[in-house]
């Protein structure tokens, strides 16, 4: 399905699962992935809930308009998807970039989020983030996305998982390489500029935070900052996991979401 957002961008999304349960969850993917990222979680939650996944603007089958992009814009896109789907509210969860978008959604549309799943993510990438993300954007624009794949693989997944599940790694690389470079660069700049730390105190819904102890992209300290800023949140640090926990430890992530859904 597609929806035209408030600024005219077309966003692709899907809904699967148990529509009669009254339980709803929306899942937002990480940078340079698409809604297929969530397939292992959709499979686990579908018997108990309706599960919405979308391709964020600049990704997958959605439009890739010129930037700049902001996490607030991505959050408004999700609100427009909710409107098109006829959803008033839902649990909202995201991984990495998707977690930033989920935070922005809960801040901008507090009446529409009933809970937050924040996986491998952060409210801010740090004081040097604009420079670091601009360097990654520039490298992609100059040399192409393929030069980043070795770097990405080791950040995404632990050594053991890469050896055991090369099929998952290869599928992620395929999606990564299918991105449009300019949209990727604009999204990198968006993440560099993101700082939601001052607004974390406004979040009043249950939030469950998960991070791998080997996550070099959004390390444990960033998760601790969110945990400290969101009253009543929980924090789980998973030994041996890296940056894409919904793919590396899907049973654990699905369990966290079931708790938020009350199933």
Between the CA of residue 238 and those of 22, 124, 136, what are the distances in Å?
30, 21, 27
pLDDT value at residue 108: 98
Tell me the CATH number at 72.
Answer: 3.40.50.1820
- pLDDT number for residue 2: 98
Report pTM.
Answer: 0.97
Please report whether residue 151 resides in a domain. no
Mean pLDDT within 104-112: 98
User: What pLDDT score was predicted for residue 107?
Assistant: 98
The domain tally of the chain equals 1
Q: Are 89 and 68 in contact (CB under 8 A)?
A: no
pLDDT tens, residue by residue, 120-153: 999 999 999 999 999 999 999 999 999 999 999 9
Where does the chain have alpha helices with state H?
A: 39-45, 71-85, 97-108, 129-143, 149-156, 159-164, 166-177, 181-193, 220-229, 245-248, 250-261
Establish if 97 belongs to a structural domain. Answer: yes
9: containing domain: 2-125+195-261
Tens of pLDDT, residues 193-216:
999 999 999 999 999 999 999 999
Digit-coded pLDDT (tens) for 27-56: 999 999 999 999 999 999 999 999 999 999
Task: For residue 228, give both structure tokens.
Answer: 């400290």
Q: For residue 178, is it within any domain?
A: no
What pLDDT does 54 receive? Answer: 98
pLDDT, tens only, 52-68: 999 999 999 999 999 99
The answer to whether position 71 is within a domain reads yes
pLDDT number for residue 261: 98
For 50, phi and psi rounded to 5 degrees?
A: -85, 130
Q: Residues 150, 156, 157, 162: is their CA dihedral positive or negative? A: negative
Does some domain include residue 190? no
Cβ atoms of 196 and 100 within 8 Å: the answer is yes
Is residue 162 in a domain?
A: no
In a domain, 164, yes or no: no
Q: State the average pLDDT for the chain.
A: 97
112 within some domain: yes
């Amino acid at each position: 399905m597609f929806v035209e957002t408030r600024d005219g961008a077309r966003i692709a999304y899907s809904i699967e699962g148990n529509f009669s349960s009254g339980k709803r969850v929306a899942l937002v993917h990480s940078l340079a992935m698409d809604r297929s990222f969530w397939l292992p979680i959709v499979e686990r939650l579908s018997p108990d809930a309706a599960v919405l996944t979308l391709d964020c603007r600049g990704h997958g089958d959605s439009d890739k308009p010129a930037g700049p992009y902001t996490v607030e814009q991505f959050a408004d896109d999700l609100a427009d998807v909710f409107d098109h789907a006829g959803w008033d509210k839902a649990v909202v969860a995201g991984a990495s970039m998707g977690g930033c978008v989920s935070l922005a959604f809960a801040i901008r549309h507090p009446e529409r989020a009933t809970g937050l799943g924040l996986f491998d993510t952060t409210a801010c990438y740090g004081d040097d983030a604009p420079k670091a993300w601009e360097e990654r954007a520039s490298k992609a624009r100059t040399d192409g996305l393929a030069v980043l794949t070795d770097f990405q693989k080791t950040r995404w997944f632990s050594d053991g998982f890469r050896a055991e599940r090369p099929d998952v790694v290869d599928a992620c690389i395929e999606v990564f390489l299918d991105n449009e470079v300019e949209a990727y660069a604009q999204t990198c700049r968006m993440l560099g500029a993101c700082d939601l730390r001052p607004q974390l105190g406004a979040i009043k819904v249950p939030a469950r935070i998960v991070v791998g102890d080997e996550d070099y992209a959004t390390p444990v300290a960033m998760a601790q900052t969110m945990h400290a800023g969101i009253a009543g949140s929980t924090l789980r640090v998973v030994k041996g996991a890296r940056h894409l926990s919904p793919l590396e430890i899907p049973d654990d992530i699905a369990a966290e979401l079931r708790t938020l859904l009350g199933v």
